[in-house]
Amino acid sequence: MKLWIYWWAMVEKLRPACTRTRTFLWLVACLVGMTIRIDLAGVSSIVRALGLQEYCYDRLLDFFHSQGLKLDLLTSLWARVVLNFHPEILKLNGRVLLVADGLKVAKSGRKMPGVKRLHQQSDSNTKPEFIMGHSCQALAILAGTLHSVFAIPLISRIQEGLVFSNRSSDSLVDKMLLLLDGLGLPELYCYLVADNYYAAKNVIRNLKAQGNHLLSRLRSNATAYYPAQPPVGKKGRGRTKIYGEKIKLKSLAQDIQSMKQAQSPVYGEQGVQILYRCEDLLWRCVGMLVRFVIVLHPYRGMIILLSTDLSLEPLEIIRLYGLRFKIEVSFKQALRTIGAYAYHFWMAAMTPVPRRSGNQFLHRKSYPYRQAVRRKMLAYHNFIQIGCIAQGLLQYLSSAYPALVWKNFGSWIRTIRPGICPSEQVVAIAMRNTFPEFLADLSSAPTFKKFLYDRIDLTRIEGLRIMSG
């Protein structure tokens, strides 16, 4: 039961995001349902997990579409809760580590706004090259210890598929910067760790303007310039030369003698020797000095890394970029354990989307139609954000109270590695086992428990199981 008490202490700090107490209670019910459910069938699985009466299904649909839940404020409050109360936020030079990436979620609904034909780049032969679905981008913050690191999701939004104005020219890179602003934390200083897609002029200049830095990977054909040598003698006419000799970065890896050898600092790698070389060069893309690290890995081949912070040591840059894959692990848990993207909200009045179609252009649609699309997108984003919060709470309990989680796990797992925090699935099972006991004790969260008791269906086995605690 203590797990739920710690869980509730975090959740009640989200109350200001709801205009009414009842809205907040439905928010808590959704968070509980996503935490303890055993299937991922959208809103229906939340109703089953909590043993709610049939009419609650419509109430939950109304909640996800409601403007009584202030999405921007909820996102900002969640980010502040993570930063202020999580005990193991990773920091370097006083800056937090944010990880950014994109996610494509398969959706086959022809009456779902934002669904479009998407291309997937993957080495896995189990993923089709093209799918119909939603294209999302997400930001997560790294937290944990040396042996166990989590990417705690802060914000995730659908970023493609809809064009409300034919004058809109924002790229996915620009929309990622809007996500960073959407955290509502102007005082936050960070290192943004991302893949080569986000190594762009707009990202670097925006981050530098706010005092932040980018750590990224570059394509193998990237080039840079040595700084120009100062002129000898009297300066001639015209602007002073800035760029010197141009160089292909991959050519720096051909001179093996100039490279240093070290043990790989990448998370999870032991006994692996790498070669690396560090150069501070001018990158014409942004017109400033950037630190490039060229790495020769025995298994991964040549990798070119970039850091806009010239004070970072090369091995530190390699270590930090090695943590980027943690957001991929977070996506896997969000999809398969939490169901953060398992929404199924249709728009009855929508013009059906043809198969293999691209963006949906709405600038010629009527105002009521565009408002209906915005309402549906709000429901999607509310569902996704609540899923992010549910996952983050499980990660918090895993890293802060691992012994308590294993004590209440009460099931079997083949391998329990010492020093490694339990996964989100293990924490979810522990929470599911202790939920009836939490409801039976009225000393904490009495308003929510009364709210839930009034809506439990005692004619179904789920409701009887919960009340039997």
- Which candidate, 269, 212, 201, places its Cα nearest to that of 97? 212
CA angle 350, 351, 353 (to 5 degrees): 110
- The answer to which of 168-172, 174-178, 331-335, 344-348 has the lowest mean pLDDT is 168-172
The structural domain count of the chain equals: 2
Could you tell me the pLDDT band of residue 125, with boundaries at 50, 70 and 90? low
pTM of the model: 0.94
- In a domain? residue 234: no
Q: What CA dihedral angle connects 282, 288, 289 and 294, to 10 degrees?
A: -60
Instruction: Summarize the confidence of residues 102-127 as an average pLDDT.
Output: 85
> What is residue 417's predicted lDDT score, i.e. its pLDDT?
81
Could you tell me the pLDDT band of residue 469, with boundaries at 50, 70 and 90? low
> What is residue 444's predicted lDDT score, i.e. its pLDDT?
84
Query: Would you say residue 124 has pLDDT above 80?
Result: no
Residue entry with tokens 């944990």: 144
Do 178 and 300 lie in one domain? The reply is no
Do 130 and 60 lie in one domain? The reply is yes
- Name the domain boundary from 277, 297, 322: 322
Do 86 and 174 lie in one domain? The reply is yes
Query: Each residue of 216-263: pLDDT tens digit?
Result: 999 989 999 998 887 776 666 777 788 889 999 999 998 888 899 999
- Which candidate, 338, 334, 314, 336, places its Cα nearest to that of 326? 334
Do 292 and 389 lie in one domain? The reply is no
Do 424 and 456 lie in one domain? The reply is yes
- Name the domain boundary from 280, 307, 322: 322
Do 113 and 262 lie in one domain? The reply is no
Do 390 and 456 lie in one domain? The reply is yes
- In a domain? residue 389: yes
Do 317 and 301 lie in one domain? The reply is yes
Pairing type for strands 190-194 and 162-163 reads: unpaired
Do 186 and 246 lie in one domain? The reply is no
Do 144 and 11 lie in one domain? The reply is yes
Query: Each residue of 30-79: pLDDT tens digit?
Result: 999 999 999 999 999 999 999 999 999 999 999 999 999 999 999 999 99
Do 389 and 340 lie in one domain? The reply is yes
CA angle 158, 163, 168 (to 5 degrees): 105
Do 187 and 201 lie in one domain? The reply is no
Give the range of the structural domain holding residue 207, as residue numbers without chain letter: 197-229+240-322
Find out whether 305 and 220 touch, Cβ atoms under 8 Å. Answer: no
- Name the domain boundary from 322, 340, 375: 322
Query: Each residue of 268-284: pLDDT tens digit?
Result: 888 899 999 999 999 99
- In a domain? residue 235: no
